Amino acid sequence: MDQTAWHQSKKTFHDINSYEKVKRLLDFEQGKKLKILDVGCGPGILSNYLRNLGHTVVGLDIHPDLPANDPNFINCDINLPWPIENSSFDLVITTDVPEHVYDPAHILREAKRVVNSDGKLIFGVPNHFDLRQRFRSLLGKGIIHWDHVRFGENAWNYAHIRFFSLPELYSVFQANGWNPKISQFNFMGCGIIPTRFTPAFFRLFLLKSWPNLFSGKFIFLLSKETNPTNNTCIHLAKTPKGL
C-alpha cells in the first residue's frame, strides 16, 4: 500500500457531517445542477449525497472501500496528475484532504486546470493552531489535534502531515491563482471554551475578532477570478460534531 492509500485508511472524517461542511458555500439544493469532482472522496459519502440531489459527481481517491468498475469513482493517487480532462467540471470539492498530502498546492493547480472558466473550488482544512491546540503544544503534548487524541493517533503515524495558519492559506491560494469568495469559520467544538457555558454572541465575537485562534476549521469557496468581489465571511457559533 502506498503512502496515500495508507493515509486514506486512517481517515475518520468522512462521516454523515460531510455535507454540513459545504452546504453554506453553495446552494446545492435549489441552484443549478453542477458537474462536481470530489477529490479525496473517501468511501464516497459526500459524493453520493450530492448525486442524490441531482448533481453529476465523480469521486477521486485511493480508498479500499471505493466501488470497483463504477464510472462515478476513479481510484487514483491524488498526489499525481489527475486523469481528468481540462475544463471539464464546474466545481471541485476537497475537504479534510489537503492536510494529508505532501504537496497541497498540487491540489490547487490541478483543480484550476480541471474546472471551467467560471469554475469554483471548495477547500477545507482543520485549524491545527486554534487556542486549545496552542495550549496543548505549550504543555508539550505535541502536534496531534486535540479532537484526534480519542482515536489513539501517535506522532509517528499521524495522518496529518501539513498544517496551515490562516495567512498561509490565503498566501498559497493567491500563489496558485485562486481567490476566496466566501470564507467559513467555525467556532472550535468541544474546546477550552465550552459552548454550553458561553452565549452565542460572545463566541461570535471571539470568532470574528480572532478566527486563527477560535475557528476549528477553515472552509473556503475559491474562484479563479482575478478581481473577485469582496470576500464574504460566514461565522458559525456552533456546528454539528465532526464539522
Task: Quick: pLDDT tens for 192-216.
Answer: 666 777 888 998 999 999 999 999 8
Q: Could you tell me how many helices (H) and strands (E) the chain has, helices first?
A: 7, 8
Backbone phi and psi for residue 44, each to the nearest 5 degrees, phi listed first: 95, 20
Q: Which helix (DSSP H) or strand (DSSP E) does residue 163 occupy? A: none
CB 62 within 8 A of CB 77: yes
| Mean pLDDT for all residues in the chain | 86
Instruction: Flag whether pLDDT at 186 surpasses 70.
Output: yes
CB 114 within 8 A of CB 84: yes
Q: How far is it, in rounded angstroms, from Cα 116 to Cα 100?
A: 26
Residue with the larger pLDDT of the pair 226 and 107: 107
Q: Above pLDDT 70, what percent of the chain?
A: 88
pLDDT-wise least confident of 32-36, 55-59, 76-80, 138-142: 138-142
CB 178 within 8 A of CB 94: no
Q: How far is it, in rounded angstroms, from Cα 91 to Cα 105?
A: 17
The pTM assigned to this predicted structure is: 0.88
Q: Above pLDDT 90, what percent of the chain?
A: 56
Predicted local distance difference test score (pLDDT) of residue 144: 84
pLDDT-wise least confident of 85-89, 106-110, 136-140, 205-209: 136-140
Record: fold of 3-236: Rossmann fold (3.40.50)
What the block records as the C-alpha cell of 176 is 496558485
Q: How far is it, in rounded angstroms, from Cα 63 to Cα 70?
A: 13
Predicted local distance difference test score (pLDDT) of residue 111: 98
Predicted local distance difference test score (pLDDT) of residue 101: 92
Q: Please, which pLDDT band fits residue 9 given cuts at 50, 70 and 90?
A: very low
Instruction: Flag whether pLDDT at 142 surpasses 90.
Output: no
Predicted local distance difference test score (pLDDT) of residue 64: 77
CB 1 within 8 A of CB 9: yes
Residue with the larger pLDDT of the pair 222 and 148: 222
DSSP line for 38-74 = EET-TTSHHHHHHHHTT-EEEEEE--TTSPTT-TTEE
Longest Cα–Cα distance in the chain: 51
Cβ count near 204 (within 10 Å): 17
Backbone phi and psi for residue 124, each to the nearest 5 degrees, phi listed first: -135, 135
Residues 159-185 pLDDT 10s: 888 999 999 999 999 999 999 999 999
Q: Please, which pLDDT band fits residue 155 given cuts at 50, 70 and 90?
A: confident
